[in-house]
Structure 1
Amino acid sequence: MGALITVVGLGSGDPDRLTLGSLKLLREAEERYVRTKDHPVVAWLEETGVTFTSFDEVYESKDDFPSVYEEITERLIASAKSAGEGKSVLYAVPGHPMVAEATVKLLRERCPGEAVELRITGGESFLDEAFVRLGFDPIEGFQLLDASDLSRGTIDPRRHTLIGQVYDEFTASDVKLSLMDMYPDDYPVVVGHALGVSGAEQVLRIPLYELDRVQGYGNLSLVYVPASEDDSLRIGSFDRLHEIVSILRSPEGCPWDREQTHQSIRKNLIEETYEVLETIDEDDPDHMREELGDLLLQVMLHSQMEEETGMFTAYDVIRELNEKLLYRHPHVFGDLSAEDAEDALKNWDAMKAEEKRRKGIEPEKLSALSGVPRDLPALMKAYKLQKKAAKVGFDWDTIDGVWAKIEEELAEFREAVTDGHPADDQALELGDLLFSIVNAARYIKADPEEALSRTNAKFVSRFTYVEDKLREAGKSPEDSTLAEMDALWDEAKTVERASK
């Protein structure tokens, strides 16, 4: 037999719960280690002559728990290798070795590669006592969470929730803040200290906001959050949104929502997108939050329609998006690097091309202009088409060529209008002129859609000023002269400059 580590669980804290088998292993071991002596069973064993070497000093020498657990694992493996043929190193841990015990997890990962045999003997877990003392059946729905890794996404209020590793008031404060993202401040929770340990057990039922005011947190502490069927607790979850949309589309739901199709709400998707853009331009976070919700609703409705046909669900949409984000960011989630945004964009484009190849599409055989959505607004589409063409060299060397093209197209447009060409020809010449101006926007690295949007906003602001001033004078644009409105327009410009 080669190197061997035997792990023994010390149980939840009551020496009477220690099994005869575990006690025999503890007494017969020649070399014993314990993760921490801060456990009632350790004190009792040492009183009976079973002594340990503890790793408590490792906690004091390291800055974080992962480093502590790595160091303990290294030392145990080294001790096992040096113990000699046929000898075992015993390692005792609080509770059950397979429940919330990071060092055992590391040993299970590392020992096979180090040619060290690992044997694990169970012990009563703190969960056993929690089920009894707190009075719930885990089959009703149960989750065990780590206080150091708690987030809104890990909490399901429909399940009984136990939170372990609540070592001190600071950890309890972090737990409280995380829970308050979902639960009301006065939601009833339970703090359990040393459950099942005679003379040390405490079960405190308190409102959530008092969680970090409780004294006595330590290695044997946990927090229990009772399960609830109150849907208001899930109002911020994606699952609840999915449920609501599916109900709206169900036979018992909303008649209007049931009647909608992809085509009937197609325009809504566009309208909601532009409403989001408006909140961005206005730098209005509160309104943006609302409009982003309206836009998300459109995504959910379209996904729900496909879920009803069995094609895909909203979760499939999210899965595909997650996969795409991971795949197209190899400089973040893979082995590549990106020094700047340009490098990141090159990685993105390279991964897009690879995705096409996996789908049987040869990017090299596609048009340089492929990938531009058909229904983009014309100004935005022109910009994207020109950028794609420029990538393969179809571009002027300098902006001088752009100026010449604009002058050429302006002359042709003027001629078409002056000479009374058919309306369709005039419109085509206007399009050519606009297209050439988009080239100028591209050269100065300005988004033409955004530039025109800003000018539209400026026009609205100035014209509104004109209307307001006319209204103050008891007039309206309809009964005012152009000269009067021009004068007020110039005044609006002056006021605008002064406000900058």
Structure 2
Amino acid sequence: MGKIIVIGMGSSDFTQINGQALEIINSNNKIYSRTERHEVINVLKEIKEIVFLDKYYDSADTIEKVDEKIVEELLKESINEDIVYLVPGSPFVLEKSVELLIKKDIELEIINNQSFADLVFSRINYVTDGYRTISGKDYNNFKVDFSIDLLIQEVDNEFLLDEIILNISEIYPMETKFSIIKDGGLKTEEIYQDSLSNYSRRIKPNHQTTLLIHRPDGLYDFSSLVEISDFLRGPDGCPWDIEQTHASMRQDLLEEAYEVVEAINEEDPEGLLEELGDLLFQVVMHSQVAKENGDFNIINVINGISKKLILRHPHVFGDLNLDKSAKVLQNWDSIKYSQRNFNTFWERLNDSRGLPSTIRAYKIIDKVTRIGFDWNETGEILGKVKEEYDEVIEALEDPKALREELGDLLFTVANLCHHLGYEPELLLTEACDKFVNRFKTMEETAQEECLDIQALDKSELERLWQASKLQ
């Protein structure tokens, strides 16, 4: 097996090629290049025979397949002789094919050169406190980190540049600075710097175009929230936050979750934004307490849910074919309970004891109906409701029996709700809202009549109640 010698061509022109690289290029070794689109190649192809691998960009379905095809050819061609492989910029930055070669059991030599990142910072005289480099083809908002600069390479056309700027503008402040560098270090160099709010098409990008999104000032991200939580519970933090435990924050967690639901019910986007933040802080705080206890941290939480979602969606991340929601839910439960070593069905029914009772009742009923334990007709379950009602009447003189019969009646009504396609928790919430609104109307009417609603007798209250129902 021959040796593969990887040479970085740098980020601009032929003058960047060092003596060691030139000596190897001028040897008799066969030369392969990832692409023909580079200033160094414009010089080399006049004096050396080079095999260009751009062909795989047209034949492969994804950029990952491109790299795999390139590596496959390089390995094949190096079986009996040493070969040279030229890559743009630095072999150690955004060069997946080199990463794949490193993982192979082969003799490999890598000669580094200036990366596009080094060139960009030098051309705009910019000192960075830290940055992340990604390819424009891989950009999405989930790769954003507001605490560092974002360097996006391979922004090779106007549509891609416009799309990235548009997506960036949705989450970054509009005063955030950006720099676009095209053909950095060459005679054709163009630099465009401004704020997102003033972006326009002043540069037509090519394969040597890089977009730098400068770190925004005064913008918080998830890591900021974790740091705030850590500080609040630290030596110089808040006495109340320091005292909190998992148990003491249980009520807060419930309240924040219900306030999220309320914002959804009210169709209040601004309220939902705020309440989701409050709920997220609860997750971070509980994770902080667990970290201090030596149990787990927020990274473990994120890693755990990510693994769970991938494992429980084999029809998305794997080869399983599930074309209906019912099949998806059935498969989800199957994976969930196999992980928990549930060997009996009743254990599945007992899996939701921490939920509010109406929600727990609904989930229990939902699970048993999936295996066919359900009412055939609505009339049957209405008859069961009447039966339970009658048993409540019979138990009025027996407190112990009454407690049980009232519970049976509530559970049967929850069963009726499920059978008719309603969630009892939501229905009861709506009923509470209706009662409060009617009582509001009662009090307003009482005030118009110069009456104190808290001082009225039952007959007056009933009069106002009946009047409120007419409005």
Identify whether the pair has TM-score above 0.5, normalized to the shorter chain.
yes
Give a deviation string over 1:32-72, Cα, whole Å, max 9, x none: 5544444322333345x33556566776x679872993697
Q: Residues 201 and 412 of structure 1: is their aligned pair in 2 closer, same or farther, counting only changes over 3 Å?
A: closer
Q: In structure 2, what is the Cα distance between the partners aligned to 1:173 and 1:396? A: 57
1:411 aligns with 2:408: no
Q: In structure 1, what is the Cα distance between the partners aligned to 2:69 and 2:198? A: 35
Give a deviation string over 1:286-318, Cα, whole Å, max 9, x none: 111211222222222222222222222222222
Q: In structure 1, what is the Cα distance between the partners aligned to 2:141 and 2:348? A: 44
Q: Answer whether contact 1:32 1:51 (CA < 8 A) is retained.
A: yes
Q: Answer whether contact 2:151 2:213 (CA < 8 A) is retained.
A: yes
Query: How far 1:220 moved relative to its partner?
Result: 2.4
Match of 2:174 among 169, 185, 205: 185
- SS where residue 190 of structure 1 aligns? strand
Alignment of 1:146-161 (within 5 A): 146-161=135-150
Q: Answer whether contact 1:188 1:207 (CA < 8 A) is retained.
A: yes
2:413 alignment partner in structure 1: 437
Letter of the 1:43 partner, please give it: N
Q: Residues 292 and 314 of structure 1: is their aligned pair in 2 closer, same or farther, counting only changes over 3 Å?
A: same
1:497 alignment partner in structure 2: none
1:378 alignment partner in structure 2: 357
Q: Answer whether contact 1:176 1:209 (CA < 8 A) is retained.
A: no
Q: Answer whether contact 2:67 2:97 (CA < 8 A) is retained.
A: yes
1:207 alignment partner in structure 2: 195
1:66 aligns with 2:63: yes
1:269 aligns with 2:253: yes
Tell me which structure has the larger Cα radius of gyration.
1
User: Across the two proteins, how many residue pairs are aligned to each other?
Assistant: 468
Match of 1:93 among 87, 90, 94: 87
Alignment of 1:133-148 (within 5 A): 133-135=123-125, 141-148=130-137
Query: How far 1:252 moved relative to its partner?
Result: 0.9
Relative to structure 2, which stretch is displaced further, 257-266 or 31-40?
A: 31-40
Q: In structure 2, what is the Cα distance between the partners aligned to 1:332 and 1:141? A: 35
- SS where residue 350 of structure 2 aligns? coil
Query: How far 1:181 moved relative to its partner?
Result: 4.7
Q: In structure 2, what is the Cα distance between the partners aligned to 1:428 and 1:275? A: 31
1:176 aligns with 2:160: no
Alignment of 1:109-124 (within 5 A): 121-124=111-114
Q: Answer whether contact 1:146 1:164 (CA < 8 A) is retained.
A: yes
1:247 aligns with 2:247: no
Q: Residues 10 and 272 of structure 1: is their aligned pair in 2 closer, same or farther, counting only changes over 3 Å?
A: closer
Q: Answer whether contact 1:29 1:88 (CA < 8 A) is retained.
A: no
1:498 alignment partner in structure 2: none
Query: How far 1:445 moved relative to its partner?
Result: 3.2
Query: How far 1:12 moved relative to its partner?
Result: 2.3
Q: In structure 2, what is the Cα distance between the partners aligned to 1:92 and 1:249? A: 53
Letter of the 2:381 partner, please give it: V
- SS where residue 253 of structure 2 aligns? helix
Letter of the 2:211 partner, please give it: V
1:364 aligns with 2:337: no
Give a deviation string over 1:338-380, Cα, whole Å, max 9, x none: 22121111111111222123xxxx5239646321315x33333
Query: How far 1:243 moved relative to its partner?
Result: 0.9
Q: In structure 1, what is the Cα distance between the partners aligned to 2:80 and 2:254? A: 74
Q: In structure 2, what is the Cα distance between the partners aligned to 1:182 and 1:383? A: 39
Letter of the 2:429 partner, please give it: S
1:287 aligns with 2:281: no
2:326 alignment partner in structure 1: 342
Give a deviation string over 1:222-263, Cα, whole Å, max 9, x none: 2334557x4x22x1x211111111111122111222222333
Q: In structure 1, what is the Cα distance between the partners aligned to 2:426 and 2:240? A: 35
- When the two chains are superposed, the root-mean-square deviation of aligned CA atoms in Å is 3.9
Q: In structure 2, what is the Cα distance between the partners aligned to 1:413 and 1:221? A: 77
1:495 alignment partner in structure 2: none
Q: In structure 1, what is the Cα distance between the partners aligned to 2:161 and 2:340? A: 49
- SS where residue 207 of structure 2 aligns? coil
Q: In structure 1, what is the Cα distance between the partners aligned to 2:442 and 2:272? A: 29
Relative to structure 2, which stretch is displaced further, 282-291 or 207-216?
A: 207-216
| TM-score normalised per structure 1 | 0.78
1:164 aligns with 2:153: yes
Q: Percent identity?
A: 33
| TM-score normalised per structure 2 | 0.82
Match of 1:218 among 206, 212, 219: 206
Relative to structure 2, which stretch is displaced further, 302-311 or 98-107?
A: 98-107
Q: Residues 69 and 413 of structure 1: is their aligned pair in 2 closer, same or farther, counting only changes over 3 Å?
A: closer
Query: How far 1:280 moved relative to its partner?
Result: 1.8
Q: Answer whether contact 1:95 1:124 (CA < 8 A) is retained.
A: yes
Q: In structure 1, what is the Cα distance between the partners aligned to 2:133 and 2:100? A: 19
Letter of the 1:383 partner, please give it: Y
Q: In structure 2, what is the Cα distance between the partners aligned to 1:451 and 1:366? A: 27
Q: Answer whether contact 1:69 1:102 (CA < 8 A) is retained.
A: no
Q: Residues 463 and 62 of structure 1: is their aligned pair in 2 closer, same or farther, counting only changes over 3 Å?
A: farther
Relative to structure 2, which stretch is displaced further, 186-195 or 295-304?
A: 186-195
Q: Residues 102 and 216 of structure 1: is their aligned pair in 2 closer, same or farther, counting only changes over 3 Å?
A: farther
Q: Residues 372 and 68 of structure 1: is their aligned pair in 2 closer, same or farther, counting only changes over 3 Å?
A: closer
Q: In structure 1, what is the Cα distance between the partners aligned to 2:164 and 2:260? A: 34
- SS where residue 439 of structure 1 aligns? helix
Query: How far 1:105 moved relative to its partner?
Result: 5.3
- SS where residue 213 of structure 1 aligns? coil
Q: In structure 1, what is the Cα distance between the partners aligned to 2:72 and 2:251? A: 65
Q: Answer whether contact 1:172 1:211 (CA < 8 A) is retained.
A: no
1:451 aligns with 2:427: yes
Q: In structure 1, what is the Cα distance between the partners aligned to 2:338 and 2:196? A: 50
1:313 aligns with 2:313: no
Letter of the 2:407 partner, please give it: G
Instruction: Could you tell me which runs of 5 or more consecutive residues in structure 1 were left unpaired when the two chains were aligned.
Output: 493-500
Alignment of 1:125-140 (within 5 A): 125-130=115-120, 132-135=122-125
